Amino acid sequence: MRHINRILLEEYYILAEQRVYLARIPNARKRLEFFMANMKPKIMDRIPRKHLASYLAIRPETLSRLMKDKN
């Protein structure tokens, strides 16, 4: 159990550090690029855009525009 606890603790710590780093990126485009580079690619298809925008601290309209520019 200690080993499993340690693995989970490390994973959550890494995710928390990524979240803190993401919050310090001032540019919305760079936040989106960091998210896309460091998160699992399939997650983009599974979560609603409004929740992703909220996670990235940008408006849904801005996320939509950035996603359109990406394609």
Instruction: Provide the whole-model pTM.
Output: 0.74
Helices 2-24 + 28-38 axis angle, to 10? 160
Return the pLDDT at 27: 93
pLDDT in tens, 6-15: 999 999 999 8
The DSSP secondary-structure symbol of 71 reads -
User: Which one-letter amino acid corresponds to residue 20?
Assistant: V
How far is 9 from 22, CA to CA, in rounded Å? Answer: 20
Sign of the CA dihedral running 20, 26, 28, 31 = negative
Contact of 56 with 22, CB cutoff 8 Å: yes
Average pLDDT of the residues of the chain = 90
For residue 1, pLDDT beyond 90: yes
Return the higher-pLDDT residue of 50 and 38: 50
Q: Of 9-18, 21-30, 38-47, which range is least confident?
A: 38-47
